Structure 1
């Protein structure tokens, strides 16, 4: 990440052993950097496990320039921003900061500033409250709990329905990982949603990328922006020894309800996204046809809360 002294966005910095986590609450409650710092002879080394935010991105509070951002109260896209749930209509406007796209994506939390509820040397809590609106006609609140250990980052999310009617919910996170030459990914799932030209799901498929990811595949062989179902809640990323550091790996593990997985790896890009999520793209509109199994999502009664947790475990010698 660029020199923090030139950044005006308030940051929260956590440390544990050689690991450091930087949070940018005002930039959608995002992670700005997750890195390792160590001494190699007389040289001080730094290695990023997630793509670090730039000073420009932090100054603009642009979550798309962050290392990872929260997905709440839905993940991925809703077709044309239109859906219905138990008598209430969702009329969500386009919300992509850089594209004129008709399908809003990633929910509300990533485009709102979060409050620092607490912070310490190795842990912090960010909080968000959202009033009901035409876009999302339910009042809700959310919290992110970050705990940094010497060999792991644990992120626990919680969303509570503060409204008087039941609310649909999707929850997850959107990490960007560095894509260096030779990067490999291993992630077991049962099927993949094939998308149309607008990245909206049209059919479930097995084989192909599903089999390749189950075996482990060099990322440069893939060109995807797809949802996977039946995810085994574990993804391993391996980077070879290179100018950035020694051979290393990272395992992302999750708990239910993060039973779905998104892989965004455009060919030629220097970063890719491997996202633990609780529902697939446009789940509310597809539920009547396919049911919950291939789509996920939750129903929160008034006053009910849902928790989700994932862990990033860097591994090095």
Structure 2
């Protein structure tokens, strides 16, 4: 993967306003990114048809520096235990990036780069970079987490809300994937540590795909979209009427505690996902 590490060392403009939208285009495909609203992709249109659920809390947002729920908002780094705000009681959920105004490092045409500095309530300084790259048939999102000081565990991923139906009268989306296992989910919505054969939906569950995330969404007669990532973890959520979520991420929910990826001054956390579509 092309290293996003160059992004944090670039001079950037002041923090983006919450209403700013960065627009990217490639042929008949359009994307808007909202750096002031958690650097979420607010819109993805193909031939004028919106693929993402609209609304301030929807679109597709980066999950960083953790993904999903962290049990009781606590995680350890060596002998030190940290307490995060319980923004999804009784847990901390989806990181701080989605609630942060990011900076636009550069933007133009079909590519843009955004950054934000890790700060309270996250206990370690660092820099997060997201790169958005658009073509006529794919959207690639890249993210890195860097530290220039103490090492710390972290996660990164994306939480897209895809519309269940693309048009009035259109059929519901169909989700297809072949996972090696499903993390058994406890009553607290966190993995119990037991792996089971994948169960039929509806889901709010984490799946393991050792060969990399590979999930296909099909809107019959309209569009097929594949969500791919080199990571082996994906959460699939389809319990809402309006939208479904396919969330590639670098570890399972509560992974700061159960499957930490250490960010060091020499080893940033780098990840990416590519969504590829074709018209039916």
Asked if these proteins are the same fold (TM beyond 0.5), I'd say yes
1:239 to 192, 196, 219: 219
- CA–CA separation in structure 2 for the residues paired with 1:16 and 1:76: 32
CA RMSD of superposed structures (Å): 1.9
- The corresponding residue for 1:193 is 183
Tell me, in whole angstroms, the C-alpha distance in 2 between the residues paired with 1:174 and 1:86: 29
- The CA distance in 1 between the partners of 2:251 and 2:260, in whole Å, is 5
**SS of residue matched to 2:38:** coil
In structure 1, the residue matched to 2:129 is 143
8 Å CA contact retained: 1:91, 1:136: no
Alignment of 1:43-192 (within 5 A): 46-51=48-53, 53-54=54-55, 57=56, 65-96=57-88, 101-131=89-119, 133=120, 135-163=121-149, 165-180=150-165, 181-192=171-182
SS of equivalent residue, structure 2 residue 146: strand
Q: Please say if residues 88 and 137 of structure 1, whose CA atoms lie closer than 8 Å, have aligned partners that are also in contact.
A: no
Aligned position for 1:4: none
- Name which of 239, 264, 267 aligns with 1:301: 264
Unmatched segments (≥5 aa) in structure 1: 1-6, 38-45, 58-64, 213-221, 242-246, 288-295
What does residue 204 of structure 2 align with?
225
Q: Cα gap change, 1:314/1:225 in structure 2, threshold over 3 Å: closer, same or farther?
A: same
Q: Give the corresponding residue for 1:269.
A: 241
- Deviation, 1:312, is 0.7
Unaligned runs of 5+ in 2: 1-16, 166-170
CA contact (8 A) 2:160 2:246 kept: yes
Say if 2:40 is the partner of 1:30: yes
Q: Secondary structure at the match of 2:265?
A: coil
C-alpha displacement of 1:303? 4.7
The number of aligned residues is: 258
After superposition, what is the alpha-carbon deviation per residue over 1:163-182, rounded to whole angstroms, capped at 9, x for unaligned?
A: 2x221011101011111344
Q: Which has the higher helix share?
A: 1
Structure 1 89/208 Cα, relative in aligned 2: closer, same or farther at 3 Å? Answer: closer
Distance 1:13 1:137 in 2: 33
| TM-score, scaled to structure 1 | 0.77
Q: Is the 8 A contact 1:167 1:302 kept in 2?
A: no
Partner of 2:226: 251
- Superposed CA offset, 1:84-108 (max 9, x none): 1113321101124xxxx22011111
| Local SS of the residue matching 1:9 | coil
Rounded Cα–Cα distance in structure 1 between residues aligned with 2:68 and 2:75: 14
Specify the alignment match of 1:316 in structure 2: 279
SS where residue 137 of structure 1 aligns?
coil
The TM-score, its normalising length taken from structure 2, stands at 0.86
1:294-313 per-position Cα deviation (integer Å, ceiling 9, x unaligned): xx431122353121111111
Shift of 1:137: 2.0
**In 2: Cα distance, 1:297 partner to 1:8 partner:** 32
